[in-house]
């Protein structure tokens, strides 16, 4: 019952915030939400036999005619549909990709991205886990942090510790003050931490506190599922992690 309520909250939250911002419907399973002049959230919906239909968030950062992608939809088919729309309708070329962690709601389309020549980067822990599981993995790894550039826009990736998963990172876009925190951050509608079977509950609050301390001026915080917001998502997640 708690799982059903959690997923219903995700669906309601996703619908509510999407109505506030400009939306582009790619198809019945993919929607783009414009959150800044140079950034979109991509929302993809997965039909799971156990949990039903639920949304997952990713980020697209744009600079002129090129873009960086953070997380893919859960499948190669949806990833191709998303990339085709970005290429054909938005007239952008995806030149780089970073996943938040190893789960398929972050890396499900990685194989397709590599086949079309997108440069791929990840936390070295993410690469190691995917290798151990015999799955496709990104090319470039980093240990603690990684600095990338999309033209003159800086992209900063940080591994601050285990939480939702052992390898989860955060991505900071200074020019937009956007923090893509992924699944370690929970929407304010969330009543629990969700799936933590591959994470670490003991370090969860420590990691979230590090994120709060490092990015106190984040304008937007984007979770892996559900509604984005401000720093209140992180403080809410901290409370949830301390309550366990």
Task: Look at residue 50 in the predicted model and tell me its pLDDT.
Answer: 76
Q: Which tens digit of pLDDT belongs to each residue from 95-145?
A: 999 999 999 999 999 999 999 999 999 999 999 999 999 999 999 999 999
Please say if the pLDDT value at position 26 is more than 90. Answer: yes
As a whole number, the mean pLDDT across the chain is 93
45, 26 contact by CB (below 8 A): no
Domains of the chain, CATH where assigned: 2-242 (3.60.15.10)
232, 181 contact by CB (below 8 A): no
DSSP type of residue 229: B
Choice among 63, 104, 192, 195 that is catalytic = 195
Q: What is the mean pLDDT of residues 172-182?
A: 98
Active site includes 9?
no
Residue 19 pLDDT level (bands cut at 50, 70, 90): low
Please say if the pLDDT value at position 6 is more than 90. Answer: no
Alpha carbon distance 63, 53 (integer Å): 33
Active site includes 202?
no
Please say if the pLDDT value at position 92 is more than 50. Answer: yes
Choice among 101, 157, 167, 168 that is catalytic = 101
């Amino acid at each position: 019952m708690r799982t059903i309520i959690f997923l219903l909250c995700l669906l309601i939250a996703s619908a509510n915030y999407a109505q506030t911002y400009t939306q582009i419907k790619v198809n019945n399973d993919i929607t783009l939400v414009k959150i800044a002049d140079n950034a979109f959230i991509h929302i993809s919906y997965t039909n799971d036999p156990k949990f039903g239909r639920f949304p997952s968030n990713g980020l697209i950062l744009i600079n002129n005619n090129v873009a960086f992608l953070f997380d893919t939809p859960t499948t190669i088919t949806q990833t191709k549909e998303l990339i085709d729309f970005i290429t054909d309708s938005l007239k952008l070329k995806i030149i780089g990709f970073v996943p938040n962690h190893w789960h398929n709601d972050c890396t499900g389309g990685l194989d397709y991205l590599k086949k079309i020549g997108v440069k791929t980067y990840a936390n070295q822990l993410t690469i190691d886990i995917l290798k151990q599981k015999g799955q496709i993995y990104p090319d470039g790894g980093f240990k603690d942090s990684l600095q990338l550039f999309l033209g003159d826009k800086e992209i900063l990736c940080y591994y601050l510790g285990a939480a939702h998963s052992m390898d989860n990172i955060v991505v900071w876009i200074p020019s937009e003050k956007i923090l893509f925190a992924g699944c370690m951050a929970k929407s304010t509608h969330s009543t629990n931490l969700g799936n933590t079977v591959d994470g670490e509950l003991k370090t969860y609050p420590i990691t979230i506190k590090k994120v709060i301390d490092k990015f106190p001026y984040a304008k937007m915080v984007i979770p892996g599922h559900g509604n984005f917001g401000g720093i209140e998502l992180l403080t809410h997640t901290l409370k949830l992690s301390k309550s366990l």
